[in-house]
Structure 1
Amino acid sequence: MTTNSKAGAGAGAAAGAGGAAGSDAEVASGLPDIHEAAGGIPVPPGGEGGDHPVRHYGDPAGEYEAATGAVAMVDRSLRGQFVLTGRQPGRMMSGVATGSIPEFSAGGRGRAPGSLVLTPKGRPIADLRILRLEPGEAGALLLDVSRAAVGPLLDHFRRSMPPLFARPRDRTAERGVLTLVGPEAAPLLARILGVLEEEGLLDAAGGEGWAPCPDAEALGGLPEGDEIALQVGARRAAGAEGEAATEASPPATPDPGLRVVGQGDVAPMALDLLGPRSLLVRIWEEARSAGAVPAGRAVWDTLRVEHGRPAFGVDVDDTILPPEAGLQDRLIDHGKGCYTGQEVIVRIRDRGRVNRHLRGLLLGAAPAPPAGTELYQEGRDRAVGEVRSVVQSPRFGQGIALAYVRREVEPGGQVQLGSPGGPVARVRALSPEGWVPEED
């Protein structure tokens, strides 16, 4: 199960980026002490790891089977997590984010909407999820940021956000992201959360802003972008008091706890867990002992491309416009107030077209083209597109790809790979729900 991708302009920027609050951003790493024991093959340093520290665990086919038929677990802890504090973090974030800023939920059941941050010309700087931690104008936000977007986003914050009103505090070193994927993810997670509650690692009583531990039905019905906030118990908090206590530790910020967020970038049912790394390691261990299979980036990319979802730093970067990637309905709130780049987005919306679209390609028997391969249409010498993500798909029974294709090449048509006489691929339309079926 091979994958091929093109790293965007922001890829890898996190490692060398100037960080929040005038210090260097934390260099993200995977969850500690679990991958080697599971046989993980790490992504080489500087490689196209995306949000994942591990490429696979020796059996990508078995990992895919678990993710689509039972349950797999994917460490995506290379993502950045920042707590935004200040006098008006919500207002400041609303001025740069394309999506809405969620309201505080006293009952712990709220929204964690996806969003983009754009240049004045409408080009994506970053994609992220925004979670509300506190009520009120000064209520803190948690930002969950793609690895490739961390550096550009922090640079943008330094240029555009007065620190008195909004200041990002880097929590990446102490927090991670673990994703459970598959039809058995919800019942397994419900059982594990119950165990953690009994052991005092989660607080069943909760309080304002926290939810009781959800059952399998609540977890299984969690829509994409909805979240459940769970309070970390006193036992775990006491045991982890010095977990990230270093000289570079930020001042005290609100505790984000454990957040369960509906994930929609892959087609099987999936749940993201954003929480303290030590707690996520415990969840990993409990899940593995119950039969969950560790899975790496290879399987994640296969599931993602099969679902037609672009990844930041691969399919989405500062060379494209959001409507070209089909992001206008999912990551842009057209009813909100002003944000940087809005004028370009509104003009495209009202004009009703862009010059190219992100499409799916069915490769048939053609060899997998490298990312960046140009696409041609019969009878034309100039390229009409470019390949981005490529995977070998068990679901489609062939190689498939995500590619930008000029609008005159309609779905159902064909393109040639690499040259006007190259191998032929069929073009398919994509939607937020996946690949659009071909008409008979």
Structure 2
Amino acid sequence: MTSPLLELPGAVPPPDGSPDEGVAWHHGDPLGEQRAADRDVAVVDRSHRGVLAVPGEDRLTWLHTITSQHLLTLGEGEHTEALVLDLRGHVEHHAVVSHVLDTVWLDTESGRAQGLLAYLNSMVFWSKVTPRDATPELAVLSLLGPGAGEVLSRAGELGGFVRVEAGRTDLLVPRDELTNAWRRLVDAGAVPAGSWAYEAIRAAALRPRLGIDTDERTIPHEVGWIGPAVHLDKGCYRGQETVARVSNLGRPPRRMVLLHLESPDTLPVTGDPVTAGERVVGRVGTVATHYELGAIALALLKRSVDPTTPLQAAQAAAAVDPNSIPPDTGEPPGRAALRRLRS
């Protein structure tokens, strides 16, 4: 789906093969757009994301049983994240979840909505829910920066609904009003920004993206989704056994870290290997040029890799940002309990 906002003056489309095909890559000054998003306010077109709607009186109890998130008490106007896992606990789907107007709205990665909808429909059985593709109905815009609230106030009512998340404010606006909503936000003071700016800021904040920072073996613990998208104190759902076992008895085999890349001229691409000498120790996820940090990448590394080890991300020399290492939470609770029983 190609956004009508790509036709506006200054909008530059992404390079071939981009996961953000259909929306602007930048609007002429990608580093300046990041600066505005960090210090003031920028608006990003994310209308290529898929949107699903789940109305019906069983919407919360049903979604609670088939996803990783505790949804029974999700109130009107509240938002969260959720995953769908396979039987072995690997991540298949990620969605941002909003409960608005007696409907649960799920927005997910471009190209992933139909797969998620197929799974939801396969699990309906006798439940009173009617999942549908709502991508033609709603489009996602995101405001980044400390000035988002002021811009929203000046722009006025835009239709749809607003979702305030950590580090951003999402607007799900009527798709046929997308261009009008964009213009009103820009007129209210938001700087137009593209996916380059959004991805650089997301990577620097260590926020994973499905299909970019994950592969077919990723479990939620590896990318920081325990908590934001996985609730550890809820009933059974597909893949929960792995989640519980790793949380209580072990540690994930890999962890997502931020890499600083030596040269912007030899950037790796998503999926490239990360090596230590001759040994493959991880994979590259998001790659971006940040306005302050320079060339960076998210990567899934084996937990056994010493963070001080010199690395290569494809042809680029790389170093782990020590501040990106997940904190050591100590001995897993289940293992500690077993040790006490044996002592």
TM-score (norm 1): 0.68
2:108 alignment counterpart: 145
1:424 alignment counterpart: 317
2:304 alignment counterpart: 408
Q: Matched residues, percent identical?
A: 31
What are the equivalent positions in structure 2 for 1:77-96 lying under 5 Å apart?
Answer: 77-96=47-66
| 1:100 is the counterpart of 2:70 | yes
SS at match of 1:176: strand
Deviation at 1:342, TM superposition (A): 0.4
| 1:321 is the counterpart of 2:219 | yes
Counterpart contact for 2:78–2:100, Cα < 8 Å: no
| 1:388 is the counterpart of 2:285 | yes
2:92 alignment counterpart: 125
Residues 193-233 of structure 1: per-residue CA shift (max 9 Å, x gap):
2xx4xxxx7xxxxxxxxxxxxxxxxxxxxxxxxxxxxxx5x
Which of 45, 64, 86 lines up with 1:75 in the alignment? Answer: 45
User: Aligned in 2, Cα 1:316/1:97: closer, same or farther, shift over 3 Å?
Assistant: same
| 1:63 is the counterpart of 2:45 | no
CA distance in 2, matches of 1:183, 1:406: 36
Count the aligned residue pairs: 326
SS at match of 2:279: coil
CA distance in 2, matches of 1:95, 1:318: 23
| Unpaired stretches in structure 1, ≥5 consecutive residues | 1-27, 202-231, 233-257
Deviation at 1:305, TM superposition (A): 1.0
Counterpart contact for 1:49–1:297, Cα < 8 Å: no
Counterpart contact for 2:25–2:194, Cα < 8 Å: yes
Deviation at 1:178, TM superposition (A): 0.9
Corresponding letter in the other structure for 2:184:
E
2:138 alignment counterpart: 175
Which of 255, 276, 292 lines up with 2:174 in the alignment? Answer: 276
Which of 121, 126, 145 lines up with 1:158 in the alignment? Answer: 121
SS at match of 1:384: strand
Deviation at 1:424, TM superposition (A): 3.3
Residues 81-122 of structure 1: per-residue CA shift (max 9 Å, x gap):
2221345222221122111216364xx6x4210111111111
2:274 alignment counterpart: 375
| 1:38 is the counterpart of 2:1 | no
SS at match of 2:155: helix
CA distance in 2, matches of 1:423, 1:87: 53
CA distance in 1, matches of 2:235, 2:26: 43
2:192 alignment counterpart: 294
Spell out structure 1 runs of 4+ moving beyond 6 A: none
SS at match of 1:262: strand
CA distance in 2, matches of 1:74, 1:151: 24
Q: Bigger shift: 281-290 or 353-362?
A: 281-290
1:239 alignment counterpart: none
Counterpart contact for 2:268–2:316, Cα < 8 Å: no
What are the equivalent positions in structure 2 for 1:244-259 lying under 5 Å apart?
Answer: 258-259=160-161
Counterpart contact for 1:358–1:430, Cα < 8 Å: no
Counterpart contact for 2:42–2:190, Cα < 8 Å: yes
Corresponding letter in the other structure for 1:174:
E
Residues 154-181 of structure 1: per-residue CA shift (max 9 Å, x gap):
2212332227533212221121111111
User: Aligned in 2, Cα 1:102/1:259: closer, same or farther, shift over 3 Å?
Assistant: farther
2:339 alignment counterpart: none
Deviation at 1:382, TM superposition (A): 2.7
2:82 alignment counterpart: 115
Counterpart contact for 1:410–1:427, Cα < 8 Å: no
Residues 274-328 of structure 1: per-residue CA shift (max 9 Å, x gap):
1212444333212222342211111111111111111112112433111111211
CA distance in 2, matches of 1:324, 1:392: 24
Deviation at 1:146, TM superposition (A): 2.1
Structure ranking higher on relative contact order (CA contacts 8 Å, 6+ apart)? 1
1:16 alignment counterpart: none
Corresponding letter in the other structure for 1:190:
S
